[in-house]
Amino acid sequence: MAVFLPIALLVGILLILIHVIIRAQFLSLGKLTKVMDKQDGMHLAKINELSSKDVPIEIAPFVFSINALLSRVGQAMQKQQRFIADAAHELRTPIAALALQSENLAHATTEQDREERQHVLQQSLLRLRNLVAQPLDLARLQSEENVSIQEISFNMVVQDVSADMFPIAEAADIDLGMLRQDENIIVGDKQGRLGQLVRNAIENAIHFTPHGGKVDISLYKQDGKAVLIVEDSGKGIPEAELEQVMQPFYRVMEGVQPGSGLGLAISHEIAQRLGGSIILANREHGGLQFKYEQPLL
């Protein structure tokens, strides 16, 4: 009995100490829970990081991981908010122009005047349709997951797109042609996205090439990759802006041609989805070179 009482007393003291220690350790977790509960779900871009102060050393790595996740979520939300704001800004001007052109059409004095104003209005509607479609397409691309890869002939993709673009180039007095094409180039594609990338590359080249200029296309194999090169005879892009032009809604400062500023951003997103890469470079004698590489199958 004399031995049991000291042991019982010691066990009781130990239990009390364990309770106090555990309570003190988990008190900091309770504070973290309250901080998380106070976060505003509507403003995730400005969410506050969790403090690791007074957090048990065993829990600290978990807090750091949560903060890293919150940072990524915040960056994604900021990117989305900028995208929406830029899209709204880009749509504001053409919509205002449409309203003005509609008023002009209503005040046409002759049949010829009415037809001319109607044609201008129709062209504006087409540009607005494209302007609306591209942001939606980019958003759809960024949200695509688990899309299966289909084997496809890169040669056929380039030939089909070139055939579609030839009348546009001819109307602009631009010489569109194939410089080089290796045979049997097989790559992976997802839902026809490769054709969209090729179309964007050729369309941009035609768009920024002056009348009487040239757009040359090359398609070949190199080091286990398919290589597509589209070269134009336009003004090129200032070196300082070559990296920025693939950002959504970015337009070259010296450019005078209208556009949404999304063509290269969409191409860049497609390239990433297909495991490829895009390199833009100014040509020595003027113009821009668009180079796309993708692993062969």
Question: 33-42, 196-205, 220-229, 262-271 — which is least confidently predicted?
Answer: 33-42
Count of C-beta atoms within a 10 Å radius of residue 145: 4
Q: Give the pLDDT band of residue 281 (cuts 50, 70, 90).
A: very high
For the segment 84-107, what is each residue's pLDDT rounded down to a tens digit? 666 666 677 678 778 888 888 888
Determine the pLDDT at residue 254: 53
Determine the pLDDT at residue 174: 96
Determine the pLDDT at residue 232: 97
- Domains belonging to the chain, first-starting first, are 39-143 (1.10.287), 150-295 (3.30.565.10)
Give pTM, 2 decimals. Answer: 0.68
Q: Give the pLDDT band of residue 263 (cuts 50, 70, 90).
A: confident
How many CA atoms, within 13 angstroms, populate the side-chain half-sphere of residue 268?
Answer: 16
Q: How far is CA 114 from CA 100, 101, 203, in A?
A: 14, 11, 31
Determine the pLDDT at residue 66: 77
pLDDT of 110 > 80? The answer is: yes
Taking a C-beta distance cutoff of 8 angstroms, is the pair 292, 278 a contact?
yes
Block residue for tokens 């054709």: 195
Determine the pLDDT at residue 256: 44
